[in-house]
Amino acid sequence: MNLILLGPPGAGKGTQAKRLEERRGLVQLSTGDMLRAERASGTALGKKVQAIMDSGQLVSDEIMVDLIAARIDRLPKGQGFILDGFPRTQRQAEALDAMLAKKGLRLDYIIEMKVDESALVNRLAGRFSCTNCGASYHDVHHRPKHEDVCDVCGSRDFVRRPDDRPETVKARLKTYRELTAPILPYYRAKGVLRTVDGMAPIDRVAAEIESVLERPGAASNG
């Protein structure tokens, strides 16, 4: 099963992708995480994208399409995946369809996580993640069960993202409105878009996603 989680910064895509990895054995393909890994390793690509990410803008479509294509190519045959943070523009959506068709793959579900923008600055300001496994937490809504210990891997190292500062979050939301939200009609017109309430508590969102996945999916390229 292959699916896309679509929604603005802070909608909960990463949180739900991790849950889906655990429940369904799918692999999360987060383009944001891939770029942050490039930055952490100090690669040429990492250096190139640093200022773009920190200003809340999008990295070029060419770079992103190549990055995700290479990552999908490395998956074991038949391994299902969750796209988190990709596609983010109409060109990326179209390139994805073409790329998957060429590889004989398809998207089974495209799930929009609908949220009130006004809640997102607060969500992102309170976010921190496990440095080791990437599990995402929140100062108020989702604290680790044991103070300062990651629920998933037991690590005690956590990190906050530089682009979660309120000014940058506002720029990211603007970018989402202008460049990413316009791809929703593209998927809606294909009849493959499903919407869940991303404002519900995390467990309820997870249950709603499960109920979507229990209904028949659709092939976006078929």
Neighbours of 169 (CB within 10 A): 22
User: Is the Cβ of residue 59 or residue 219 nearer to ligand AP5 in the bound state?
Assistant: 59
Residues 108-147 that bind ligand AP5 (CB under 6 A): 123-124, 126-127, 136-138, 141-142
The window from 82-90, 101-109, 143-151, 186-194 that contacts ligand AP5 (CB under 6 A) reads 82-90
Beta carbon of residue 156, minimum distance to ligand AP5 (angstroms, whole number) = 18
Residues labelled catalytic: 13, 88, 127, 161, 172
CB 11 within 8 A of CB 113: yes
Residue closer to ligand AP5 by CB (options 135, 216) is 135
Residue 138 bridge partners (DSSP): 127, 142
Does position 85 interact with ligand AP5 (CB under 6 A)? The reply is yes
Distance in angstroms (rounded) separating the CA atoms of residues 76 and 74: 6
- Among positions 25-54, residues that touch ligand AP5 (CB under 6 A) are 31-32, 35, 52-53
Q: Is 81 in the site for ligand AP5 (CB under 6 A)?
A: no
**What is the DSSP secondary-structure string of 67-133?**
HHHHHHHTSPTT--EEEES---SHHHHHHHHHHHHHHT----EEEEEE--GGGHHHHHHTEEEETTT
Chain Cα centroid distance, residue 168: 18
DSSP, collapsed to helix, strand or coil, labels residue 27 as strand
Given 172, 193, 196, 208, the residue binding ligand AP5 (CB under 6 A): 172
Pairing mode, strands 193-197 and 3-6? unpaired
Residues near ligand AP5, by CB under 6 A: 7, 9-15, 31-32, 35, 52-53, 56-59, 64, 85-86, 88, 92, 123-124, 126-127, 136-138, 141-142, 172, 198, 200-202, 205
